[in-house]
Structure 1
Amino acid sequence: MIKRPMKPLIALLTLLFVMMPFTQAAAAEPLDAIRQLIQEYYVDEVPDDVLLKESAKEIVDGLDPHSIYMTKQEYEAFINGIEQRIVGIGVVLEESDKGVKVISVIKDGPAFKSGLLPGDVITRVNGISLTGKSVQAVVPLIGGEENTSVTLTIERGNSLPITKTIKRAEIHLPTVESEMLGGNIGYIRLNSFATNSAKEMAEAINTLGDTDGLILDIRNNGGGYITAAQEIAGFFPNVSQAFQIREKNKTPAIYRSVNQEIKIKSPVSLLINEYSASASEMLAVNLKEQNAAKIFGQTSYGKGTAQSMFAFQDGSVLKLTTARFFSPKGIAVDKVGVTPDVVTATNEEVNTAHYDQLLYKFAGYSPFPVMENVKTTKTFTIRMSKDMDWSRLDERAIQLIELGGEEAEVRVAVKDGRTVEVTPVSPMISGKDYLLVVHPLWKDKSGVMMGNGIYLKVVVE
């Protein structure tokens, strides 16, 4: 089952990532250096009344929203966001009557090593009751600095409360996650365009193997490094160019994709939404222009600018908008975003793309009318037009695929010479949609194979 993506918590960015050290007085802000950098590198002309402001914050506030002057600590937190590094115990939480419930535990994180399990309810943190507190209020209590400890009181099922003291640590979240959906459709979620994203993407493609289709999910991906966008584009066959960059007083430059040894061989569905920004849009507009993917979702954020980083001796950093990016052929992204080929409702992107991939795979099959308001325990009756040779009944001929999920196991039973009944081994999930597929693998009494397969969409009540 695909996890619902969380809204982004990091700044929207696409970084040229040029680090240029500047000297400065020990205790003063580097105002002259900041003014010089803005005049030389900022993407637009800046009026004197902005440049003559008396503090770095005032000057940078007069620029675009993506230019920021950061302290050393703010910069480190910023980079940790791109690289998916956090300090904590490694749990995903939701609210519960008695406190907060553990939804998932990050593998090999402190909570995992301490034995916390999904379903555990944390009722106290360092003796403080969590009854009535929101997840937002609890997170700062559980979080803290690296190598410090937090004591949790936990309820697990009907057992007595458990107390665990866990040492907080830096956790590196994967920038790429993958799984196989029903019908041999691969799913890859790209959370950030980080240093290791291309390596993790290659590993995911290898792990999935030969798929009949691939869904690449960049919803809520706020961007990352330009080099990572070039690398990800290199996984797509015949996508040799990545984007066009336009800097102040320079000729527009087209950047090439970074070729990858492994290539995506199956049709690609790309998922975007209003929080897909910057490097995500760089990839999306390029794939759309090259007809390398079919895009599902909602219009993206519309951040078509790139930032460079300039470091000073005290560790502070100026993140400055130094360019705008476009598709290789010049399609704009800034303030307009990327429009999907198929507009979907929020949180329906995966289901819609999965359904589309399956219909493409079964293009030669005959569609039957949609079944609405189906019971979770429904038994499907399939009646053939001729007497069949059920002695060679091949249960692989029947697939029941949850859209956005895995294939459901079914039992096939012969009712008479022309009829079989198909029953899910476990109840279908209420509110979910399925695709029932009958492949042409059966023969009639005279040994003639079925002419073609059939499919129908099943909407569970």
Structure 2
Amino acid sequence: MGFMNKQVWRRGFALILAFCLILGVYIQPATALTQEQKLVSEVWRIVNRSYLDETFNHQNWAAVRQAALKNHFSTREGAYVAIQTMLKSLDDPFTRFLDPEQYRSLQVSTSGELTGVGLQIAINAETGTLEVITPIDGSPAQKAGIRPRDRILKIENLSTVNLTLDEAAAQMRGPVGSVVTLLIAREGEGEKEVTLVRDRIELNPVVAELRFSPQDKPIGYLRLTQFNANAAMELAHAINSLEKKGAAGYILDLRNNPGGLLQSGIEVARQWLDSGTVVYTVNRQGIQGTFEAFGPALTPDPLVILVNQGTASASEILAGALQDNGRAQLVGETTFGKGLIQSLFELSDGSGLAVTIAKYETPNHRDINKLGITPDIVIPQQPITRDQIATTTDSQYQAAMEILSKNSVIAGKG
């Protein structure tokens, strides 16, 4: 640039600056974000990139970020509060922030052991109330008679109205032998207090036995209580063992199975199918993934699946896949209706973020979120004890046995 051009440029810049000052505009260089603000911004970016609803609950998501970053956080906890406020505007109980302790706890919950009362819980998306998906088999909650769809109004006299899912779970966790009191509301029965003694909860997902129908037909009974990291492998071992023992049909009991790992549900579905679609995942751009069965199935024998209101999430993926592919008949009650998929992100400070990234559709493109899956044969049943499951007092189990005895189930597909 020549000398004359430099002078012209300087004068021009000086005039622009003077004009801005006259109008009361101050040009300030961008200031660096604090560590706390960076964490808030990190969460915003993940949601902006991944969240299922591209309208972000019909709001300007960029404006939400600007409002959050106006705060000057003096502590990390202040940033956590700002993140929770930001996420609350999405009105999605499954998209949530987890502090470092909650994040570690969630990672543990898909395998190994838990300590607490043994409740799988959710916030009802329509009513906003905390409710039970299902008690874990053999847990203090299950032994105390807590049922799917029970509403938890108070935990130790603390109202659950404004608690997040993780805050409620934290209130119910505690050392073995300690006591926690819940105020429960049940449809048609009003409110009642239930006192639970916390215990160590084993997460053994598979129960397998060879049973015999009244016609002396060998039937493999399989109960799957959750989809943790070991579920598919353990179920495969159980099916192979029952095949060697001569099983001629199967009952797969998914009642009160709240789900777990998506991939585990897909792998279990593949064990029963020679071919066919297992599930579609749909993000905000449309169909994101298609999961297929590539066979061969571990067994071609007839299959009946037992479901109820506590059958949720990955359990519904499995039940829907085998129903739509004509591989199994479903017996029992309409399932829970959780058709949303979350992904877990680890944040820079060791905390975590669960984000609803997609929904799923069954092979026949059924969206079951909030609707559930209706069984082929609907059989309502009053709650039964753990010892009554798969006995003569279990009417849903007896119906499955009768179906298999008549050989009326399609034995496989493809």
What's the TM-score bracket when you normalise by the shorter of the two chains?
A: 0.5 to 0.7
In the TM superposition, 1:222-371 aligns within 5 A as 222-257=258-293, 259=295, 263-346=298-381, 348-360=395-407
Do structure 1's residue 214 and structure 2's residue 250 form an aligned pair? Answer: yes
Select which of 26, 44, 49 maps to 1:40: 49
Query: Match for 2:283: what amino acid?
Result: E
Question: Per-residue deviation at 1:207?
Answer: 2.4
Q: Hey, what's the Cα distance between the residues in 1 that align with 2:83 and 2:238?
A: 43
Deviations, residues 379-412 of structure 1 (Å, cap 9, x unaligned): xxxxxxxxxxxxxxxxxxxxxxxxxxxxxxxxxx
Q: Hey, what's the Cα distance between the residues in 2 that align with 1:265 and 1:231?
A: 17
In the TM superposition, 1:443-454 aligns within 5 A as none
Change (3 A) 1:331 1:250: closer
Deviations, residues 19-47 of structure 1 (Å, cap 9, x unaligned): xxxxx965668211111111111001211
Question: Higher helix fraction: Structure 1 or Structure 2?
Answer: 2
Q: Hey, what's the Cα distance between the residues in 1 that align with 2:299 and 2:375?
A: 21
Report percent identity of matched pairs: 26
Question: Per-residue deviation at 1:271?
Answer: 1.0
Change (3 A) 1:220 1:76: farther
Select which of 53, 70, 75 maps to 2:103: 75
Question: Per-residue deviation at 1:62?
Answer: 2.4
Change (3 A) 1:25 1:329: farther
Question: Per-residue deviation at 1:253?
Answer: 2.8
Q: Hey, what's the Cα distance between the residues in 1 that align with 2:232 and 2:326?
A: 21
Change (3 A) 1:259 1:230: farther
Q: Is the 8 A contact 2:139 2:201 kept in 1?
A: no
Q: Hey, what's the Cα distance between the residues in 2 that align with 1:186 and 1:329?
A: 28
Question: Per-residue deviation at 1:82?
Answer: 2.7
Q: Hey, what's the Cα distance between the residues in 2 that align with 1:297 and 1:234?
A: 23
Q: Is the 8 A contact 1:234 1:240 kept in 2?
A: no
Query: Match for 1:176: what amino acid?
Result: V
Question: Per-residue deviation at 1:306?
Answer: 0.6
Q: Is the 8 A contact 2:210 2:220 kept in 1?
A: yes
Question: Per-residue deviation at 1:282?
Answer: 1.0
Note the residue ranges of structure 2 that are not aligned, 5 or more in a row: 1-32, 69-81, 119-137, 145-175, 180-191, 384-394, 410-414
Q: Hey, what's the Cα distance between the residues in 2 that align with 1:135 and 1:205?
A: 41
Question: Per-residue deviation at 1:251?
Answer: 4.2
Change (3 A) 1:286 1:89: closer
Select which of 33, 48, 65 maps to 2:93: 65
Do structure 1's residue 204 and structure 2's residue 257 form an aligned pair? Answer: no
Select which of 116, 137, 141 maps to 2:195: 137
Residue aligning to 1:18: none
Question: Per-residue deviation at 1:219?
Answer: 1.2
Change (3 A) 1:284 1:239: farther
Change (3 A) 1:175 1:30: same
Change (3 A) 1:51 1:240: same
Q: Is the 8 A contact 1:221 1:280 kept in 2?
A: yes
Q: Hey, what's the Cα distance between the residues in 1 that align with 2:51 and 2:240?
A: 41
Report the 3-state secondary structure (helix = DSSP H, G, I; strand = E; otherwise coil) of the residue aligned with 1:177. Answer: strand
Question: TM-score, normalising length from structure 1?
Answer: 0.54
Select which of 205, 227, 231 maps to 1:175: 205
Q: Is the 8 A contact 1:26 1:314 kept in 2?
A: no
Aligned residue pairs, count: 276
Question: Per-residue deviation at 1:199?
Answer: 0.7
Deviations, residues 182-232 of structure 1 (Å, cap 9, x unaligned): 231111111111111111001111222221210101111111122112210
Q: Is the 8 A contact 2:273 2:293 kept in 1?
A: no
Question: Per-residue deviation at 1:138?
Answer: 4.7
Q: Hey, what's the Cα distance between the residues in 2 that align with 1:232 and 1:217?
A: 13
Deviations, residues 150-177 of structure 1 (Å, cap 9, x unaligned): xxxxxxxxxxxxxxxxxxxx76521111
Q: Hey, what's the Cα distance between the residues in 2 that align with 1:84 and 1:245?
A: 28
Question: Per-residue deviation at 1:92?
Answer: 5.4
Change (3 A) 1:135 1:181: farther
Question: Per-residue deviation at 1:264?
Answer: 2.4
Change (3 A) 1:355 1:303: same
Query: Match for 2:264: what amino acid?
Result: A
Question: Per-residue deviation at 1:322?
Answer: 0.5
Report the 3-state secondary structure (helix = DSSP H, G, I; strand = E; otherwise coil) of the residue aligned with 2:197. Answer: helix
Deviations, residues 38-58 of structure 1 (Å, cap 9, x unaligned): 111100121127834641112
Q: Is the 8 A contact 1:239 1:292 kept in 2?
A: no
Question: TM-score, normalising length from structure 2?
Answer: 0.60
Do structure 1's residue 186 and structure 2's residue 220 form an aligned pair? Answer: yes
Q: Is the 8 A contact 2:304 2:329 kept in 1?
A: yes
Query: Match for 2:204: what amino acid?
Result: P
Question: Per-residue deviation at 1:127?
Answer: 12
Q: Hey, what's the Cα distance between the residues in 1 that align with 2:108 and 2:294?
A: 24
Report the 3-state secondary structure (helix = DSSP H, G, I; strand = E; otherwise coil) of the residue aligned with 1:318. Answer: strand
Query: Match for 2:240: what amino acid?
Result: N
Question: Higher strand fraction: Structure 1 or Structure 2?
Answer: 1
Query: Match for 1:61: what amino acid?
Result: K
Report the 3-state secondary structure (helix = DSSP H, G, I; strand = E; otherwise coil) of the residue aligned with 1:323. Answer: strand
Q: CA RMSD in A?
A: 3.2
Query: Match for 2:97: what amino acid?
Result: Y
